[in-house]
Amino acid sequence: MNRLTRIEAEQNSAQDAPWWRGASIYQVYPRSFCDSNGDGIGDLPGVTARLDHIAALGADAIWISPFFTSPMKDFGYDVADYCGVDPIFGTLDHFDALVARAHELGLKVLIDQVYAHTSDAHAWFAESRQDRTNPKADWYVWADPKADGSPPSNWQSVFGGPAWTWDARRGQYYLHNFLSAQPQLNCHRTEVQDALLAAARFWLDRGVDGFRLDALNFAMHDPALTDNPPAPDDGRARSRPFDYQLHLHNQSQPGIPVFIERIRALCDRYGAVFTMAEVGGRQALGEMHAFTAGDARLNSAYGFDFLYADRLTPALVAVAQANWPESDGMGWPSWAFENHDAPRALSRWCAPGDRDAFARTKIALLCTLRGNPIIYQGEELGLVQVDIPYDQLQDPEAIANWPQTLSRDGARTPMPWVAQDEQGGFSQGQPWLPLGEENLARAVDRQAADPASLLNLTRDLLALRRSSPALKLGGFEVIHADPALLVVRRQDNGQAVLGLFNLGTAACAWPAGLAAQGRELIALNGAAAGQDLPPFGTLLIEETN
């Protein structure tokens, strides 16, 4: 294929793909992104003021974690009004201004939708709990006690303790898979689905470009309330009663894909809207495939393969990618190494002295994966997990399970914008969580001025990915994988990019028989084509025919 023909083919491939396929997504945790009013909590005007940073990074879209009206017992994932903005974060006018500015900058806007549960402060629950005959009596999961007064099943909450709470007004238990303040919606009911779809329509009408659907496999339960069987001991750590069960009946029910098809049909009426499922648990892969199968379900699923892994290895990458083959009817994966629920990757995957070199290799690998790379705010700066003292913890899970559960607060610390500012340019007031001295030293202003910084490398990688059909849309072939060295090829319409990643702390020999010809795109940590790869050495090479 000559060069002109190849360029034409690449352009046609890119034009045929929907905007979200291969898009780079930047996750904003609004509580910790930027505070515009000095109360120490980030807000929507603060996000709007800093959108230029995300656009300059080269992201295609932003995903904003919940900002809806909420008592904030689970920081917005306990929704009290699906169509309202919590005053902590601003107003609907502020949200509209954010969307308008994002679109001006060429950024798509994705938001969370939480369909498995609401807050117990939601008006729907207030009505449902009044008695057993009101119009919303069965909008939540209610059940009588057993003859001895105990809960109707053995189901356990993710956050610890039974998944059932007694309500004296109804004389029944209600189900909650998370906090007792997060009662489970009965999504088996068409009326409940209709109400949730109306909320989605509300935000689509305001210009959002897609949704991340939180805890989607928890959206339905077994109506027979069958006890869950015990989980076999597979060597995994068990810090909660939840860990001792196979969750066959409190989640993951066969009616969920039917509801998903209703969500997709609504979104399709608004054009190229992106839908991404969050699915966790032991059976997550099968459910993710089911939730994204064909053209009538969701576009993508949010993989957990890396979020809680204690090491980043070639085998982990190879298996994760092999689980999403290019085949008819197969969905499209989305990948994150970090998020608001998982410990910062640099604190899990490498020694403190290796963080600078490893961070460069890590971000290059994320940008090379087939799927949508999701960058969590501050990942482009190399932020690390902050150790939050018990008396400053905000995370209800960490408080309930302390000290066994590593606090989510340590990954939710405020974004450092200005290194010389005590509050990091995040707020003029006292931030709701401490920034951490190491993270403050990695502030945006300091890295923006340093051509060799991780921030500027991330900009280069995202620009490369956007311009490369192979990296954005191509297949993923593992050429070599041993305990430290990963070699992959991304290929699409005549362009092939070879990626070599030494994920170990010792040098690796150049793989025997691997050609080194081509145009060097990225070389990190002293790597050079055809030579031994130094620790964390990384190369991206556009291969020549």
Q: What share of the chain is helix, strand, coil (3-state, %, to 5)?
A: 30, 20, 50
Strands (E), 453-505: 475-481, 485-492, 495-502
Write the single-letter amino acid at 259.
F
CA 35 to chain CA centroid, nearest Å: 22
Q: Which two tokens stand for residue 292?
A: 């994204």
Nearest CA to 377 out of 346, 350, 349, 340 is that of 340
**Cα separation, 327 vs 314, whole angstroms:** 23
For residue 365, give the H/E element and its range: helix 355-366
Q: What is the largest CA-CA distance in the chain?
A: 78
Are the C-beta atoms of 61 and 71 separated by less than 8 Å? no
For residue 403, whether the previous peptide bond is cis, meaning omega lies within 30 degrees of 0, is yes
CA 92 to chain CA centroid, nearest Å: 24
The alpha helices in 411-453, defined as continuous H runs, are 437-440, 444-448
Are the C-beta atoms of 164 and 153 separated by less than 8 Å? yes
Are the C-beta atoms of 385 and 36 separated by less than 8 Å? no
Question: Which residue numbers are catalytic?
Answer: 214, 278
Write the single-letter amino acid at 374.
I
Alpha carbons within 13 A on the beta-carbon side of 381: 26
Gyration radius of the chain over CA positions: 24
Alpha carbons within 13 A on the beta-carbon side of 248: 9
**Cα separation, 169 vs 101, whole angstroms:** 47
DSSP 78-122: S-SEEEEE-TTT--HHHHHHHHHHHHHTT-EEEEEEE-SB--TTS
